[in-house]
Structure 1
């Protein structure tokens, strides 16, 4: 095993020893990661490297100096005391990097989720197998096997033992009318015209051959259809135009899994640092997760106090205002921005977070109706109250009460980092069950 193999083995050990994903979400440094790359710290790992052996310094009787020569105690160039730039190479073993797709897979495993997003926007239509059937088409696509089966079914349904019926025409006193009545009673699909024609072919001397039906049946064997076909075969199969079916390819629609995630955050004066950190710790993994689940993910970030405005991701978690709070302003802006993402083509998630403090009557009179009017896979509200519920922090409870029976609304409560993973599970499991 060479050094390169050793390095790979040690890297695998590092991956096994990386910080637990739940622990990372709750207490890890999320700021080291990027939107498209999650960096999870590795707890303990030392990669092998060459080191200078301090013992190999020479000894008595070695070197060019003579005994008694003075020793230069001043540092010489190259001794390592020169001015220089600090090293810029980072230790690759300090973090385990995963893309959002891997992050989503691992979070599914840890939380026991089974979210399978559905594609909406059709990006391509292709011809699949020739499994669909139509009544017309080119001769080359005629389903001959089906045509033959239909004809064979008709042949069997129309078949009867002609020789047995001809013998019945030889019963004394029976004529075509009597034989036709008898044959129909025996469920023989014979026509009166055929019987008349067959009777004319019977020699006059044989029309009194049998004195009764019982005598005829006692001396004549009636052969069933299956046995007769095995013995005689089939001369012809009656095909009909209405039996013709033509195969054509199934049209397969390839749908792109598009998602737009609207993140809403209260930035009013009551949203102090601990509350902001809990919002970031909850929303960031949700962004990674949904980005990993969908082919194309778009993110919209809305900040609000009494008014709402769109911000960039970098501003979203750090921004703070001194204004009041009117949560409905954010939903009004969300409804406007979502017009660019038609519900027929895009999956939608609307996530909001704050300390549940809202202006009087705004939740019931405005927020709840707006949530009902905005089509989405899931609406979620995350209450962040590190010190417990404040007296006027009622928004989350009102939303939860209003959507008690809804399967597309989730409410989660986060009072500290330890609640974050449970909140994420509550949100994502609601979407999982609503599929």
Structure 2
């Protein structure tokens, strides 16, 4: 590999190469991003180049007058101007970064592609109605909207259904002594769609040839029947019977444009057991979820609830940093969520309720209060994220109880476990891929 190959390799790594989205949400710095702008770091890599020593080194084979003889100790090397940092130890400074800016819509689209998601937001509130394509049919309307093609098609189907081998029936009429009634009864037995009046006219038209055949059996043994399709191809169709019942008039379908509204309730346990690492894992899951849903919906609003044994609403900038010394009662957060969601009617808003903690909860609160409240609060999706970096504590049973009650295949409840940053992307996928079709 030559210098040019190295140069191309460095360019491939360094020029506007940002972190993969999955790596970014798991390990990247989320602090440089806001609600409407996501900044993904781009690592700036310096291209290799020759460096020339500007110091006067003398001629070939010459020293600077203080060069020791061969074998003479030279001591420790001394730092030279320009070597290392001017202050501090070499290598202390981190790599230089720039940022690739994307809005929530772009973030949601790329996360769909990277994680294989396919969330299709449903509109709730009707904001506009307009005429769509002329796909609906009615029995009345102006002549200009008459569906002539359909009318002709129905008549043609009737013509084909009414067709029969007329030549063969005329041969039956030539049987010695046969009457029109006998021909009609034979035709009915053969399921031929022929009328009595047609048979009477055919019977009369071959009166001079009566006696050509001794019996119907003799006709069937000596005359080949011709399939209807073959006769139509040969003779064509002289007319298509059209009926008024076949008339249909096209009119436009009424299309409703619906605004896709979503409210996201983020719930976080801030009790004394939720230490820094656990709080950081919650932020790594909830922040990309907020960005994703903002990008998917026309209107996205967020409610943030912190709780220990009691619950209170907080602003987003305070949500991830709060820590209290109290105990834990998760149902208090769902009671407050139910109250706050009254401002966002289920008929008009899509709803997501995301909760996170270390699964520690007061005795019987999960089964007696939290689960009934989750069932009472209509939502596209309820989710619980357990964060236990050091492994499950003995009394950390909330997530397990939810999973046992709702089952692993629940379509509107997701339970996921995040023990380290490596689990974040999988947790987001588990949550967003669980959503069922919302009720209209």
| Same fold, judged at TM 0.5 (above) | yes
Shift of 1:276: 2.6
Spell out the pairing of 1:52-91 with structure 2 (5 A cutoff).
none
Q: By how many angstroms is 1:167 displaced? A: 6.2
- Given that residues 122 and 438 in structure 2 are in contact (C-alpha distance below 8 angstroms), is that contact kept between their aligned partners in structure 1? no
Using the alignment, how far apart are the partners of 2:165 and 2:403 within structure 1?
A: 77
- SS in structure 1 opposite 2:415? strand
Whole-Å separation in 1 of the counterparts to 2:423 and 2:233: 77
Q: What does 1:354-393 align with in structure 2 at a 5 Å threshold?
A: 354-393=357-396
CA distance in 2, matches of 1:27, 1:216: 90
Deviation at 1:367, TM superposition (A): 0.7
CA distance, structure 2, for counterparts of residue 211 and residue 385 of structure 1: 98
> For 1:94, what is the secondary structure of its paired residue?
strand
Deviation at 1:426, TM superposition (A): 3.3
2:152 is the counterpart of 1:151: no
1:192 paired with 2:196, answer: yes
Determine the structure 2 residue equivalent to 1:334.
337
Of 137-146 and 273-282, more deviation after overlay is shown by 273-282
SS in 1 for 2:16: helix
Following superposition, the deviation at residue 126 of structure 1 comes to: 3.3
* Mapping of residues 285-434 of structure 1, within 5 Å: 285-405=288-408, 406-431=410-435
| Distance in 2 of aligned mates of 1:291 and 1:234 | 62
Corresponding residue of 1:35:
35
CA distance in 2, matches of 1:115, 1:255: 17
* Contact 2:177 2:211 (C-alpha < 8 Å) held by counterparts: no
Tell me the SS of whatever aligns to 1:410: strand
Contact 1:407 1:434 in 2 (8 A): no
**Equivalent position SS for 1:42:** strand
Aligned length: 380
What corresponds to 1:139 in structure 2? 143
Tell me how far 1:364 sits from its aligned partner. 1.3
1:169 and 1:15 map into 2 onto residues whose CA distance is: 90
CA drift of 1:30 comes to 1.7
Q: Tell me the CA shift for residue 331 of structure 1.
A: 0.3
> In the alignment, is the contact (CA less than 8 A) between 1:11 and 1:93 conserved in 2?
no
SS at match of 2:43: coil
CA distance in 2, matches of 1:122, 1:424: 30
- Contact 1:260–1:346 (CA under 8 A) maintained in structure 2: yes
* TM-score calculated relative to the size of structure 2: 0.73
- The Cα shift of 1:262 comes to 0.6
Q: Could you say what the CA RMSD is over the residues aligned between the two structures, in angstroms? A: 3.7
Which residue of structure 1 aligns with residue 102 of structure 2?
A: 98
Q: Give the whole-Å Cα distance in 2 for the aligned partners of 1:227 and 1:22.
A: 65
Distance 1:300 1:335 in 2: 11
Task: Say yes or no: does 1:212 pair with 2:214.
Answer: yes
Structure 1: 5+ residue runs without aligned partners?
Answer: 1-9, 48-53, 55-91
What is the deviation of 1:231?
Answer: 5.7
Measured in 2, the distance between the counterparts of 1:421 and 1:226 equals: 63
Tell me: CA distance 1:40–1:221, structure 2 relative to 1, closer, same or farther (3 Å): closer
* SS, match of residue 434 in structure 2: helix
The 3 A distance-change label for structure 1 pair 170 and 31 is: closer
Alignment counterpart, residue 260 of structure 1, candidates 241, 263, 271: 263
Distance 2:310 2:30 in 1: 29
1:297-319: CA deviation from partner (whole Å, max 9, x where unpaired)? 21111112222222211121223
CA deviation digits over 1:271-297, x for unaligned, max 9? 343333332222112211222222322
Distance 1:336 1:324 in 2: 22
Change (3 A) 1:202 1:377: closer
2-side partners of 1:156 and 1:238: how far apart?
10
Structure 2 unpaired stretches of 5+: 1-10, 48-53, 55-95
Structure 1 residue 366 displacement after superposition: 0.3
Aligned equivalents of 2:109 and 2:368: distance in 1? 40
- 2:411·2:436 contact (CA, 8 Å) conserved in 1? no
Q: In the alignment, which of 243, 248, 257 is matched to residue 245 of structure 1?
A: 248
Q: For residue 8 of structure 2, what is the aligned residue in structure 1?
A: none
